[in-house]
Structure 1
């Protein structure tokens, strides 16, 4: 499994899920990120997440296929 640590920028409490996928290189654009989330292949803290702009905060873990993204604050 590939693990990616993502640091939230100082002063930001969250990142939108579709943007997170773009920022770590899983999606080429925010639109593609939305499509990936809509496909049902993304989970947050072990539960499938279908909200494209779900607020992902420090401490949460996002999984897609064999990739795990840990959001750090």
Structure 2
């Protein structure tokens, strides 16, 4: 299972945008569809809110990929 690290350079990022920024999806719209399908979990819980605020310390999982959101300032 690949593990990606995403360095958060602000307070939060919306879930659909995170999927786009790490290269899982081609667009935010594709990210919204993926979240709506129930395929994405945040910190172990299925997340259906497309614009859920993801903050440093969160772990997002989907389709065998884990995304760890880190704060590079710490």
Question: TM-score band, normalised by the shorter chain?
Answer: over 0.9
**How large is the RMSD of aligned CA atoms in angstroms?**
0.4
With normalisation by structure 2, the TM-score equals: 0.95
- In structure 2, C-alpha distance between the alignment counterparts of 1:35 and 1:44, rounded to whole Å: 16
- Which structure 2 residues correspond to residues 1-73 of structure 1 after superposition, within 5 A? 1-9=1-9, 12-73=10-71
Q: Runs (4+) of structure 1 moved beyond 2 Å? A: none
Structure 2: which 5+ runs fail to align? none
- In structure 2, C-alpha distance between the alignment counterparts of 1:32 and 1:59, rounded to whole Å: 24
With normalisation by structure 1, the TM-score equals: 0.96
Structure 1: which 5+ runs fail to align? none
Classify the secondary structure of the residue corresponding to 1:13.
Answer: coil
- In structure 1, C-alpha distance between the alignment counterparts of 2:25 and 2:15, rounded to whole Å: 11
